[in-house]
Amino acid sequence: MRAVLDLSEVRRRIDERQAELAPGDVFDLERVRATGADVREVGGGFLVLPGSGAIEVVHVVPHGGTRLPAAFADTYTDTDPSLLAPSIVDNGDLGTAAMATRLALQPKGRAVAFFACTRLLADANRSLPQQQVPRAAYRGVPLLRADLPEARRREIAAELVQPWHTAIEQCLVDHARTVRRVVHHHSFDEFAGAVTPHDRSRERRPAAMLFQDRVHNGGGTFLPAAELERLVAALLVPLRALDPAARVEVDSTYVAPAMPIVPRTVPICVYELRKDLLRDRDAREQLFAALLDIL
């Protein structure tokens, strides 16, 4: 008989790891609901809409969650919780859950889509269903069983990711006359190996990155160059208060599988902040205040 993962123990260790790395980095659903906003649970996440008024910006936060739904307990490995919990936290985008809370607490003119499940179960930042259920951890140990049947993998994507994407897309349709921007919020590790030149060289990543163009399927456009220049200048002010050597780069390597929400007529802003700059609560709040002003 296959051992069953102790979800309560994993949850306890996840909370400890999050408190160690970035105190307060959670999506505070109770506080958000107390604002009177229209909070909808869809698939593996939430869509928060203002109680009234037009929606001008849709914020998408796909990698801030750490939930392990009990309904999918049969898909989880029996990995030691002391190894699994750090992997769940480290594979997420540190700081973005707190950013989603900050945005949702001031919902006027905004819709906030937060994906609550761990990225090791379902990756909501993938447009292709076959890539929405990871076959391996991006770093650390995996969550899903190696022998997980394909049918069960498809169920995970269908029940958790696709309804969340559909709700966001429907929001864009319903508010097409007023939405002027879609913002994707991410954070990245200080050093990593991935697709961009500075990753391959193992150099320290920039304090922040904005994306200007990418290969995509289905249309859509990034912010124009002049708008990106304005964002870069605005971001440098709070970043250099934390790190005098901070730099913001514009890259062009975002590809279609990593861009699920691609409206054809609304400009998209995709940014990443370096995780080490988001660990301190006060520093994080300074950055978020600046972002709220410019995004």
The pLDDT assigned to 191 comes to 84
Give me the half-sphere count of Cα atoms (radius 13 Å) on the Cβ side of residue 22.
25
Which residues constitute the domain of residue 175? 7-294
The pLDDT assigned to 88 comes to 96
The pLDDT assigned to 200 comes to 54
In a domain, 167, yes or no: yes
Instruction: Determine the Cα angle at 97 with ends 9 and 18, to 5°.
Output: 35
In a domain, 287, yes or no: yes
Name the residue among 154, 92, 149, 102 with its Cα closest to residue 125. Answer: 92
Q: Token digits for 200?
A: 């391959």
In a domain, 88, yes or no: yes
CB 126 within 8 A of CB 258: yes
What element of type H or E holds 208? strand 208-211
The pLDDT assigned to 1 comes to 47
Phi and psi at residue 248, in whole multiples of 5°?
-120, 130
CB 118 within 8 A of CB 65: yes
Q: Which residue has the tokens 């123990």?
A: 9
The pLDDT assigned to 192 comes to 65
The pLDDT assigned to 3 comes to 63
Name the residue among 83, 39, 91 with its Cα closest to residue 64. Answer: 91
The pLDDT assigned to 203 comes to 77
The pLDDT assigned to 223 comes to 79
Q: How far, in Å, are 109, 161, 256, 293 from residue 175 at the CA level?
A: 11, 22, 24, 22
In a domain, 2, yes or no: no
Low-confidence ranges of the chain (pLDDT < 70): 1-3, 192-202, 213-220, 252-259, 262
The pLDDT assigned to 80 comes to 92
The pLDDT assigned to 37 comes to 94
| CATH code where residue 35 lies | 3.40.630.40
Q: How many domains does the chain have?
A: 1
Burial of 250 (0-12, 13-18, 19+ CB in 10 A): middle
